[in-house]
Structure 1
Amino acid sequence: MNTGDDYRGLGWAHGALTVQRLGAMLAPVTFILDDGRQVSPMHIAPWSNEPAAEALPGILRKLRGEWPCVPFGYSVPAEGWPENWARVMGSPATDEEIHGHGSNHGWTWRASDRGSLSLMLAYPEGGPVERIERTVRPDPSAPAIDIVLKIVVRRACRLPIGLHPVFRLPFETGAATLQFGGFDEGRTYPHDVEPGAALFARNKTFFELTAVPSRTGGVVDASRLPLAADTEELLQIEGVDGVAALANHEDGYRMQLSWQKEHFPSLLLWYSNRGRKAAPWNGRHVAIGIEPICSPFGLGPATALADNPIAQSGIATALEFSPEKPFVTRYRIEAAAL
């Protein structure tokens, strides 16, 4: 595949979008709102055009927008974790890649009609996944994009999977609001996502996003973004009804993400708020990941398949796949004026 074909774009009456082959990542996207304004809600990492980025792992090289993760997550050391987590945290497989093979490699363009872009990626021989396919289709009648993910497996298996939309945030602290209906329970990360950049208390539950237990006592309003603190954090939300939104008050628009909750029972919120100081992050990365998942905090396949504390509570952390029936899930990203 020649380098000139690393990106393909589509324009329609309500916007324009670009998909890159690396990770099949969707961004940039410009939506034209009903009032005529143009907004670009998807995040693009600030280093993506820097020469040093070429040496980064695939997923980080041109990190941007939205993409699927099959399998979702990556293994971390169990040292210092609560005992009920540590005992189920397995070592990474020799071929493990951060957020799966598809997040780190160039996909192949597939034939598609003029109104969509379609890509495919064959997975390494020997693994349970044969290939994954992705179709990105703008809604001809709205500032919205419909996406289809298909997973074909070689043999019956269980895997954690996730979707990874990452949205741009306004400059002013608290000028955007995360919005979703009631949920059953939220969980804070049981350890540090990034050493020295913690905000939330470890391994706690909560029932309002506006009152998440803080590492220093008290609570944090985790619904207003960007956060004031330099932090890198994860929250896992259970029982969301398959719709979440981000209202950007500074720029006057609302992004809505909708997904099939039967496939993704949890929602992972990735708060990347200047917390990572090492290269390429360099304390300048500000974005929110709103990620429908079937996974325990993205802790990698070994932990997802084990009887981990989230699975013990009745929330699936891995899905079953069959070679007889390819898995298909559909989701949508749409914009509206505030």
Structure 2
Amino acid sequence: MRKSVSHGQNGWFLENNTVRLFLTETGGHMAPVSFFHSSKKPLEPYFISPWQDEHQIPERPVLRPMRGDFFCVPFGIDNAYRKEEHPSHGESAVGQWESPTVTIEGEDVFLSTRIRTRIREGSVRKEIFLKKDESVIYQRHIIEGFTGPLSLGHHAILAEPGKGRFLISHSPIRFGMVAPRREPAYRTQEYYSLSPSARFTRIEKVPTIWKEDPYADCSVFPAREGFGDVLQIYQRQPRAQGKPAWICAGAPSEGYLWFALKNPEILNSTILWMENRGRHQVPWSGRTCCLGLEDVRSYFAEGLKYSARKNPLSEIGISTSLRLKENQALTVPYIQGVARITKSFGKVTHARFDKSGVSFFDAYENRVEVPVSWGFLFE
């Protein structure tokens, strides 16, 4: 580990023989990340906001370091709850993290850091593990001292593929829903193409606002330039207990498959934020293209204010927050990684887990095997 500056932010580089990552001191945002960094063709899938290298300072604190993946507690925009006024995506995404401690065992690396929260007094400990020869990042966040309802989740953001498009797929879902919209586009300077609050069963067929083109295929991105859309999918519990839920984005033109694995009993849904130059406020300025694949327990990105009370999801049995008791700690494990794929590798249709890791298959039964200790999610 070494302290450094990357794209305008102070933080720390951490690496082993396969993965090199940067963690910002402000907000604990993770990027850039280079997988296979010592090879001739390293892979760097994560988004770094363009204003990082500019002199403007965004008004909203979470946008200042915004990049890669960061942990949000509480998750969402409007986090007013009773007398609490949490910032957008919580103090964990905007506050100052302590200088980490690092343990090294051969080519395995373990980092631990912490942030003390003031609005709801407590702390969040961040642990990152890198294992020898694995193109995988293991994360664990331990929330301590919090009492009451909480929305939470990871906010992973991928950069637009240079030449092609992402092919998005996921483990089985119950259904999905498009985000509600309380303000028309001309007031917020954000333009959307999907029908607000519409339900769907497949991301390949999501209702739009247009009569002439009533459905959109949201398994492909970028698409629908000039619009920024948000939808949420709700995972089924895997048939076998103790098996992960997953989401992935393949970029065959760039030669990689990005994936995330989670414990669906903790993070029970995934938000797809498909930003294709649809936001025109500063600092977005109609120029930003990125894909958010955000594993959460939350009512969209509406925040704790809406996640902790009755909402259209909680009324049909979808939990949108967790309630922590006094002196109860909560551990949230998470895994992200990449695998190299060929240009002929198609959209993932299913995954198979065994003792050595996970295998992802496309429709033609082409397979990519990834060594990963996914049992970490259930320890």
Question: Structure 1 length normalisation: TM-score?
Answer: 0.88
The answer for the alignment partner of 2:168 in structure 1 is 178
Look up the equivalent residue of 1:255 and give its one-letter code. Answer: W
The answer for the alignment partner of 1:97 in structure 2 is 87
Aligned length: 319
Pairwise CA RMSD: 2.4
Look up the equivalent residue of 2:89 and give its one-letter code. Answer: H
Q: Does 1:161 align with 2:164?
A: no
Give the stretch that moved more between structures: 2-11 or 174-183. 2-11
Question: What is the CA–CA distance in structure 1 between the aligned matches of 2:39 and 2:272, rounded to whole Å?
Answer: 30
Of residues 20, 26, 30, the one that matches 1:26 is: 30
Unaligned runs of 5+ in 1: 77-89
Of residues 285, 296, 302, the one that matches 2:288 is: 285
Q: Secondary structure at the match of 1:246?
A: strand
Q: Secondary structure at the match of 2:173?
A: coil
Question: What is the CA–CA distance in structure 2 between the aligned matches of 1:27 and 1:181, rounded to whole Å?
Answer: 26
Q: Secondary structure at the match of 2:171?
A: coil
The answer for the alignment partner of 2:364 in structure 1 is none
Q: How does 1:204-283 map to 2 (within 5 A)?
A: 204-217=198-211, 218-239=214-235, 242-283=245-286
Of residues 105, 109, 117, the one that matches 2:111 is: 117
Unaligned runs of 5+ in 2: 239-244, 342-379
Look up the equivalent residue of 1:204 and give its one-letter code. Answer: A
C-alpha deviations, 1:149-188, integer Å up to 9, x for none? Answer: 110025x31111111111112145x621111122110101
Shift of 1:93: 5.5
Question: Structure 2 length normalisation: TM-score?
Answer: 0.79
Shift of 1:110: 3.2
Look up the equivalent residue of 1:166 and give its one-letter code. Answer: I
Look up the equivalent residue of 1:108 and give its one-letter code. Answer: E
- Percent identity, aligned pairs only, is 22
Question: What is the CA–CA distance in structure 1 between the aligned matches of 2:137 and 2:315, rounded to whole Å?
Answer: 35
Of residues 289, 304, 307, the one that matches 1:304 is: 307
Question: What is the CA–CA distance in structure 2 between the aligned matches of 1:245 and 1:313, rounded to whole Å?
Answer: 27
Look up the equivalent residue of 2:320 and give its one-letter code. Answer: T
The answer for the alignment partner of 1:335 in structure 2 is 338
Structure that is richer in strand per residue: 2
The answer for the alignment partner of 2:361 in structure 1 is none
Shift of 1:291: 0.7
Distance 1:194 1:181, change over 3 A: farther
Which one scores higher on RCO, CA 8 angstroms, separation ≥ 6? 1
Shift of 1:190: 1.8
Partners of 2:193 and 2:224 within 8 A in 1 = no
C-alpha deviations, 1:174-228, integer Å up to 9, x for none? Answer: 6211111221101011216882511101111001111100111310011111113
Of residues 59, 74, 88, the one that matches 2:77 is: 74
Of residues 201, 207, 216, the one that matches 2:195 is: 201
Q: Secondary structure at the match of 2:132?
A: coil
